[in-house]
Copies of this chain bind each other. A is one copy, B any other.
Amino acid sequence: MPMRDTELERVRALPLFAECSDETFRNVTGGAFLQRFPAGTTLLLEGDQVDFLYVLLDGLVELEGTWNDKETTLSVLRPVSTFILAAVVLDADGLMSARTIERSDILMLSGEAIRRAMREDASFGIAVAQELAGCYRGLVRTLKNQKLRGGLERLANYLITQRLRLGGDPTFTLPHEKRVLASLLGMTPENLSRAFATLADYGVEVNGPQVTIARPVVLERLAKPDPLIDNHQPVSGGPTGKAQRERWPRPASSKVA
């Protein structure tokens, strides 16, 4: 698949690459592959050597972990996102599998080139550190969410967050199957169904993938959202990295040159 300029520009606009030199960007994207994968494709199996930094340009990707024949969804990525950066930086095995949920356009950048670029372009090294810091904080939020809240509360907060991220409209569409949502929230599909049913008492109406939050105040009293767990930053127009999401609402007081 040919890599067009429009695609390159979207990658360039990512915070991870926004500040680096043109030369660095050329070096990193020079030998890159842009590939289109059908839905359900396993891009990377946990335990595999990681040779590429992946950039999701279009579609939907699920990161999942496995143990003892059980699997759990650790994250669902939407464009434009990079993934498995940590494994690339350390040249280590991947700890999660990655698979496409929808047909996806994915850019694959050589891991070795990334590591070389970190050495040659200091500002790129900083950008990597900031992106990883953002990813780290996202996981801290996820872990607190998982350990401190029950299933019903996790779902309620998910819906509140989702509504805000999708523009604030009371009615919105779930971005993927409920089974995936259940796994992401750490529950079984059956329990997710029951949780949705319970939320009817709190003004949540469900119609297939359509959800409307009729009484946000009532739902929030149940959910008790917390800025130290839930990141309610709305999705701005352009591509954002994990780091930017974590900086909000304090807009980068000490912007790194």
For A118, the chain B residues whose CB sits under 8 A away are 125-126, 129, 256
For the complex, what is the distance from the CA of A228 to the CA of B122, rounded to whole Å? 31
Smallest distance from the beta carbon of A68 to chain B beta carbons, Å?
6
For A92, the chain B residues whose CB sits under 8 A away are 137, 246-247, 250
For the complex, what is the distance from the CA of A134 to the CA of B87, rounded to whole Å? 9
**Which residue on B lies nearest to A143, using beta carbons?**
B143
For A133, the chain B residues whose CB sits under 8 A away are 85-87, 89-90, 132
Stretch at the interface among A2-10, A145-153, A211-219: A145-153
Identical subunits present: 2
The answer to whether A26 has its CB under 8 Å from any CB of chain B is no
Q: Which of A237-256 contact B (CB under 8 A)?
A: 243, 246-247, 250, 252-254, 256
For A65, the chain B residues whose CB sits under 8 A away are 140, 143-144, 147-148, 228-229
For A144, the chain B residues whose CB sits under 8 A away are 65, 67, 72, 74, 95
Q: Are A67 and B129 in contact (CB under 8 A)?
A: no
For the complex, what is the distance from the CA of A115 to the CA of B253, rounded to whole Å? 12
The answer to whether A142 has its CB under 8 Å from any CB of chain B is yes
Among B47, B91, B112, contact of A228 (Cβ-Cβ < 8 Å): B47
Q: What 0/1 readout, one digit per residue, does chain A (102-130) give for beta carbons within 8 Å of chain B?
A: 00000000001001001100100110111
Contacts A95-B141, A148-B72; A132 near B122 (Cβ below 8 A): no
Q: Are B147 and A186 in contact (CB under 8 A)?
A: yes
For A115, the chain B residues whose CB sits under 8 A away are 254, 256
Q: What 0/1 readout, one digit per residue, does chain A (34-74) give for beta carbons within 8 Å of chain B?
A: 00000000000011000000000000000001111011101
Q: Are B224 and A89 in contact (CB under 8 A)?
A: no
For the complex, what is the distance from the CA of A133 to the CA of B93, rounded to whole Å? 12
Q: Are B147 and A72 in contact (CB under 8 A)?
A: yes
For A125, the chain B residues whose CB sits under 8 A away are 118, 122, 125-126, 129
The answer to whether A257 has its CB under 8 Å from any CB of chain B is yes
5 A-B pairs closest in CB distance: A122-B122, A125-B125, A86-B133, A132-B132, A129-B129
A-B contact pairs, 10 of them (CB 8 A): A65-B140, A67-B148, A74-B140, A86-B140, A89-B129, A89-B133, A90-B137, A92-B137, A95-B140, A119-B257
